[in-house]
Chains A and B, each alone.
Chain A
Amino acid sequence: MTTIINVPHSLEDKSFEQVLEQVAPLPLDEKIIVDTRHARWASPYGLTALLALAQSRAERPILYVPEADNVSSYWSRMDFFKHAAELYEIQGRVKSAKATETSVLLEVTSISKSDDVHEVVDKIQQRAQDALVKNLNLDAKITMRFTMALSEVCQNIVEHAGRGGWVAVQTYTWRVRLGGRKVVVIAVADPGIGFRKSLESAPGFQRKDRWDDGQALEETVMRGASRFRDPGRGQGLAGVRRFVGNWDGKLSIRSGTARIAVLPKGDWDEDEPLLEDLPYFPGAQVQITIPERVA
């Protein structure tokens, strides 16, 4: 049996839940067709999560590519199809990339080992300065800290996921939210063991009365817990939290059936701090959003 998974027109962190609602009930070995024909836009989160979705399936899924040329071209520019070709049976006409797209700070990039993190950091440093300082009016100090945050969330894949994942970085303008302000977004997605199983693998781990994906996210993100006994561990995400706090940004991490969000001090986002009982999706999906500074 084959099930068609309809991908919404606008594919980002929240609308990706619609995809997961369709996929989560299906057996892993059931063939699925991921239908993006009507997609008009996808955030870095959407693209990296689509790749993680394919990785999570036992049976190689089919991908119907977007019909709109500009969308297909943009996904090519993001290197999405380059990686998708290894994970999906691709059906439909893929448009080649336009070389002039400047909003892409980092194309969809595979992360599975320490060297991949080095390459991502080297690449982003060359591009981030202009994008963050000139386009988003942010203080020059942000460039290094932004790169540090990117490094830390990529390292989470290498250290904890147990299998490879994806990262992408892009700037874009929000049409509705933030009154048309620009943002820069880092998205990282993997289909690995996730936060809960990572903590459960700690030596001497003892399950609490209430123990689930939400609790595991709270322990890790808010209290710096780690599966390692080494007290030096668990500082990376704490640093990312400080970074988003200092730049009025937002951090959200989804793992298993829960999503935690560190919300901005400003009023540009009205998300819930913790969402539970979401459709199950393996691994971890991280999104960092930093908005343009306005006078």
Chain B
Amino acid sequence: MINHIDVSSMLRKSVCELYSNLVTRPTGAAVRCEIEQELDRIGDRALTVIDFSHVGLLDFSCADEIVAKLLLQYVSTDAPRREVYFVFRGISESHMEAIEAVLERHKLALVTQHADGGTRLLGIIGLEERRAWEIISQLGAGAVADVAEATGLSRDAAERMLDTLWRRRLLIRYDDGYVAVGSATTRSEPQRLDA
């Protein structure tokens, strides 16, 4: 299932009813803890929209606490804690500066979704990996053979690349294929997460 977490609500719930700006590290840590509690309720396998639409200001400390530290817990090329995927919505131009800085600092990447439903990758990701993600995203869903054919990579290399993208939680793996995180939120594929 797709879950929706409104970051502004988390701020008001965890720190202060009157605040609309995500500033200071203690605030960021409190909001992240609130989000993690929500995720614990959701289960081990889920797609979650993290929505910044109602957030005014996001400073570097809060971006580090909320975005980077959240991703670091759930995204790992070695042993991801749980199979949780994130789509970040409502990221404004002013939020972007702080988010890009922390993604760069921690060598992370995420999927952001615009108001028109279009998605794109933000952060640190190789050119070939980005190309593979875009191929899957354009196809809606794809298999190793699709990426190998479109990129000219060997099947083994394409498989390794898709596996890495899955471990980074930028692709959702199902059966023998993959769905790009983000495209899944506007189509029916996320239902497979409950399978």
B window 4-53: CB within 8 A of A: 16, 19-21, 23-27
B101 adjacent to A118 (CB under 8 Å): no
Query: Within the complex, what minimum Cβ distance (angstroms) separates B105 from chain A?
Result: 6
Q: How far does the Cβ of A183 sit from chain B's closest Cβ, in whole Å?
A: 22
Q: Given A145-B97, A231-B105, do A114 and B59 touch, yes or no (CB 8 Å)?
A: no
How many angstroms from the CA of A238 to the CA of B61 in the assembled complex? Answer: 12
CA distance A272 to B19 in the complex (A): 40
Let me know if B97 and A151 touch, CB within 8 A.
no
A102-134 interface code vs B (CB 8 A; 1 in, 0 out):
000000000000110110011001000000000
Query: Contact check: which of A114, A125, A148, A239 meets B27 at CB < 8 Å?
Result: A114
Bound complex: CA of A190 vs CA of B95, how far in Å? Answer: 29
Asked whether, in the complex, the Cβ of B60 is within 8 Å of the Cβ of A125, the reply is no
Q: Which of B21, B23, B105 has the most CB of A within 10 A?
A: B23
A118, B59: Cβ atoms closer than 8 Å = no
- Tell me, rounded to whole Å, the shortest Cβ–Cβ distance linking B102 to chain A: 6
User: Contacts of A152 on B, CB cut-off 8 Å?
Assistant: 59-61
Report chain B residues within 8 Å CB of A155. 23-25, 59, 61
* Cα–Cα distance between A121 and B57 once the two chains are bound (Å): 9
> In the complex, are the beta carbons of A141 and B60 less than 8 A apart?
no
- B16 near A232 (CB under 8 angstroms)? no
Interfacial chain B residues near A232, Cβ < 8 Å: 64-65, 68-69, 102, 105-106
Residues of A within 8 A of B26 (CB): 114
Which residues between 69 and 90 of chain A lie within 8 Å of chain B, taking CB atoms?
none
**Contact partners of B93 in chain A: CB under 8 A:** 141
Out of B23, B61, B94, name the residue touching A141 (CB < 8 Å): B94
Q: A121-B57, A141-B94 are in contact. Are A239 and B101 (CB under 8 A)?
A: yes
Nearest A residue to B92 via CB reads A144
Could you tell me how many residues of chain B have their Cβ less than 8 Å away from some Cβ of chain A?
26
Q: B23 touching A121 by the CB < 8 A rule?
A: yes
Specify which of B57, B97, B106 is in contact with A231 (CB 8 Å cutoff). B106
Cβ of B57 and Cβ of A235 under 8 Å apart?
no
| Residues of chain B with a CB closer than 8 A to A145's CB | 94, 97
Cβ of A10 < 8 Å from any Cβ of B? no
Assembly CA distance A144 to B58 (angstroms):
9
Whole-angstrom distance between the Cβ of A220 and the nearest chain B Cβ = 14
* A164 interfacial contact with B, CB 8 Å: no
B106 A144 Cβ-Cβ under 8 A:
no
In the complex, whether A236 has a CB less than 8 A from a CB of chain B is: yes
User: CA A100 – CA B101 in complex, angstroms?
Assistant: 40
Which residues of B from 58 to 97 have beta carbons under 8 Å from A?
59-61, 64-65, 68-69, 93-94, 97
Tell yes or no: B123 within 8 A of A by CB: no
Q: How far is the CA of A151 from the CA of B57 in the complex (A)?
A: 10
> B143 contacts which chain A residues (CB < 8 A)?
none
> In the assembled complex, which residues on chain A have CB atoms less than 8 Å from the CB atom of B97?
145, 148, 239, 242
* CA of A278 to CA of B77, assembled, Å: 50
Q: Does B140 contact A (CB under 8 A)?
A: no
A158 at the interface (CB under 8 A from B): yes
**A residues neighboring B (CB under 8 Å):** 114-115, 117-118, 121-122, 125, 141, 144-145, 147-148, 151-152, 155, 158-159, 231-233, 235-236, 238-239, 242
Can you identify 27 A-B contacts, CB atoms within 8 angstroms?
Answer: A114-B24, A118-B21, A118-B24, A122-B20, A122-B21, A125-B21, A141-B93, A144-B57, A144-B94, A147-B57, A148-B57, A148-B59, A148-B60, A151-B23, A151-B59, A152-B61, A155-B23, A155-B25, A231-B106, A232-B64, A232-B106, A235-B60, A236-B60, A238-B101, A239-B60, A239-B97, A242-B97
A-B pairs with lowest CB-CB distance, top 5: A144-B94, A232-B64, A114-B24, A235-B60, A151-B23
Beyond A114-B24, A235-B60, 12 additional contacts (C-beta under 8 Å) are: A118-B19, A118-B21, A121-B23, A122-B20, A148-B97, A151-B24, A155-B59, A159-B25, A231-B106, A232-B68, A232-B69, A232-B106
